[in-house]
Chain A
Amino acid sequence: MSVSLVYTAAGIILFLLGTYGLVAYAHLLRKILAANIMGSGVFMVFIAVAGRTPGAPDPVPHAMVLTGIVVTVAFTSVALALAVRIARTSNRAHLPGRDEEQR
């Protein structure tokens, strides 16, 4: 039980760190990495959930994590492709701020 709790807590801390990174950093690559850290945190919580039953671990959360990884990979690739296009079109690696948009 306590091992499971440690993993849950670690997962939630990773999630919060990732959230902070996603919101606080301007560089798109950092944002994308932060989102992946968030995702890892959520998956860790799922794994901790799988281990909470005595005996053999519950397989359903594993299946959910696998699906989640596929979704995150798809999101990451779309985000990277968009970031590359933004860098090529407007020659910057961040989204325009409020002032830049008005110009």
Chain B
Amino acid sequence: MNAVLLTHPWSIWTIIVPLAAAVLAFLVPRRAPLAGIITALSVALFVAATAYRIFLAGPHIQLLGGWQAPLGITLRVDGPALIMLLTSGLVGLTVSFYAAGYFTAADRQERRQQHYFWPLWLLLWAGCNALFLSGDLFNLYVTLELVTLSSIALAALNGSSAALDGAMRYLMAGLLGSLSYLLGVALIYGAYGTVDLTLLGQTVRADGLSRAALALMTAGLLLKTALFPLHFWLPPAHASAPPPVSALLSGLVVKAPLLILFRLWFEVFPDTATAGMAHLLGILGCGAIIWGSLMALRQQRLKLLVAYSTVAQIGYFFLLFPLARGEAAATAWVGVFLLVLAHGCSKASMFLVCGTITRLAGHDRLTGLAGAGGTLGARLLVFALAAVTLVGMPPSSGFIAKWLLINAAIVTGQWWYLATIALGTLLASGYVIRVLSLAFTESQSPPLPIAPRILRWPPLALAVVALLLGLAAFHPAVLTLAGAPVSGIILLEMVP
């Protein structure tokens, strides 16, 4: 039994099952929610089996059809991929349950949304998992396009004018980003004759051409990750989509180009990237943290507030580039990957809560929501639980992640990043408290009806998982370093 667990290519099923289910859901729309739930449960199982295999037997490379690189397609099943798969499994599982309750076939418009949601979401899921496991630049391009295309269609799902404009803006940004990335791939293939990450890592020279290719690919991916100041497309697209879609876009999809960036910078071009380029990304990250938080503080609609919070949190991920230096490399690496997991769970949970509140109240204007009693108070409690992780309060996983980043900033002596992390935390508590203060406002309107059970439990489960993950952060932290391009010990200059 153990031998099968440790040798079977579990990770491949996380791509095949959603892909097959997407086709099924499109052909037999009436059974689509059932197919979605079964897929969600099995993907979660396959991710768990992959984690178990990496934990006991270490990272491995999967050759599709037994073909070796550079001709064949290789899947890299390592620690960074696993953390992404875990995020995808957790967010995907809960959002699938929520979506099964959210998209009911009540009227014609809803039936249409349900009809298209499941195939697109399952296709998106297959694309995400394939991207996380991809081991070469060109497959990363193809899978990134699968992710972007299905995300765009999902963002336009409810067909409102705002959603269509948001999706179009998303598409234009995505197209510009992916073609810029592809031009970089062309230059790399022209210079080195391969697109395999491992082979490239061994042969890349730190010359002008490599630097130009890295700059092109990075610029394209920054646009796709929506790093400040290239974030213009994110808030309208994320805020005008249906809630389960917003949760997926913010919790999962923005992390896809991010992983490519990490792979490029740390595995393929560790010597090509200069300290100045790393600091540029770090400074843009700081800009994102401050600007995104300030914009979140100013929003009048709940979903836009949460969307701008995503803009801010994306900034933290980019602190990895300047912080992962020297002996602090492993500390910053683990911190950022834990943050990816923490942010995925907490942000998806927050968007799902927004969705429940919007459905019950019929709108998401902050001024029109008030009252502690009954449904709104209970929903805001879940929002608060998720926010504990987002802001980074102990004992949540968000706290451990930010604590590691702060330690990396201290070890490398880069105090300005520490100051930004602290300021970002303060601003985050500011916009979260703005939402929670609704519970302490006198209510003028009649209380909201009680939400159906399926719209209550998934966000709560995600928020609790994100919170408790902080207490069990050791195993994910160790797994993050399995096969990672950085090594060393996790330094703790300050112990909480």
Contact = CB atoms under 8 A, between A and B. Distances in A.
Interface of A: 8, 12, 15, 18-19, 22-23, 28, 31, 35, 38-39, 41-42, 45-46, 48-49, 52, 58, 60-61, 64, 67-68, 71, 74-75, 78-79, 82-83, 85-86, 89-90, 95-96
A82 B189 contact: no
A39 B294 CA distance: 37
B414 to A, nearest CB: 34
Chain B interface SS verdict (over half): helix
A95 B175 contact: no
14 contacts: A15-B183, A22-B175, A35-B179, A45-B186, A46-B186, A49-B190, A67-B142, A68-B182, A71-B142, A75-B149, A75-B175, A79-B168, A79-B171, A90-B161
A60 B189 contact: yes
Nearest to A75: B175
Contacts of A18: 179
By secondary structure, the A interface counts as helix
B330 interface: no
Interface stretch (B110-118, B152-160, B246-254, B462-470): B152-160
B257 to A, nearest CB: 15
A7 B241 CA distance: 42
Contacts of B160: 89
B168 A95 contact: yes
B275 interface: no
B131 to A, nearest CB: 14
The 8 closest A-B pairs by CB, nearest first: A49-B190, A45-B186, A71-B145, A35-B175, A38-B179, A90-B161, A42-B183, A46-B186
A89 B161 CA distance: 6
Contacts of A83: 168
B471 interface: no
Interface in B155-180: 156, 159-161, 164-165, 167-169, 171-172, 175-176, 178-179
Contact of B179 (A31, A39, A79, A82): A39
B360 interface: no
